[in-house]
Amino acid sequence: MGLWIYLDGKFVNEKQAKISVFDHGLLYGDGVFEGLRTYSGKIFRLDEHIERLYKSAKAILLEIPVSKEEMAQIIKKTIKKNKLKDSYVRVVVTRGKGDLGLDPRKCPQPSVFVIASKIKLYPEEYYQKGLSVVTIATRRNLTESLNPAIKSLNYLNNILAKIEATNAGAMEGLFLNNDGYVAECTGENIFIISGNFLYTPPISAGALDGITRDTVLQIGKTVGLSVSEKLLTRYDLYNADECFLTGTAAEIIPVTLIDGRIIGSGKSGSLTCKIREEFHKIVLEEGVPIY
């Protein structure tokens, strides 16, 4: 039967889930999205994800045609319709159907669709042995050009970075901003542990204000680390005791090789493992029940 997709007010089978070739989300990447996770029938950080979706939409003058409360119910219904307990949910709002011009005013009705399915970015073995990361030549979007805080459908900056990393034989690519400071990876935030300090780049460096990132900042304090947002260079990363990435899909995954430099012991560090354990406790304790 396939998946049931919420599309503009109704549920349709994935084979019938279609948008117009004139939709500006397709033509120009004009739209916004969010990715959420469910664990054992609970949605993690539902309100925070919805809030970020609406902030992204406001930043590009896109009016989402349903309220935040309605959006929460749509997400829950989509998960229930597909009878899922552990899933990845993608919420997308496009500018809608228009003409071949750029003017968003020619798109009178935005389109909303929600997909609830499975996702597995990395094989399980990498959560033990860690990822290899390379610095890529493509720089993170300038805040003044296309603010990385906006989770827009225009993801070419990230895709180009992913292509570079893949061509270099690495699992992930490291973005630097235009000033040469570490921003984030192609789809995840980055953290390092040095001694008793947990560091991550500030949002102003070009990092996304990640939901998992925020959770890890809280966890860091509870496990006794001194937590700080700090401008980081590759030198800081190379000499870190531990390094890991965070994201909704990836969760928390260690990094053990950056630009050919072995990080720490060359395997997932003890504090990274501890933070990951605490994260898995939190998603079950604080998730919003679906059923």
Structure token pair of residue 283? 């998603």
H-helix segments, 20-155: 24-28, 46-59, 68-81, 126-129
Q: Return the bridge partners of 198, or none.
A: 193, 227
- The catalytic position among 80, 151, 162, 274 is 151
The span from the CA of 264 to the CA of 178, in Å, is: 28
Vertex 181, ends 177 and 185: CA angle to 5°? 65
Phi, psi for 244 (deg, rounded to 5) = -155, 160
Residue 227 and residue 178: Cα distance in Å, rounded?
25
Tokens at residue 67, please?
A: 């309220």
Number of continuous H segments (helices) and E segments (strands) in the chain: 8, 16
What tokens were used for 209?
Answer: 């204000």
Q: Does the annotation mark 85 as catalytic? A: no
- Please give the positions annotated as active site: 151
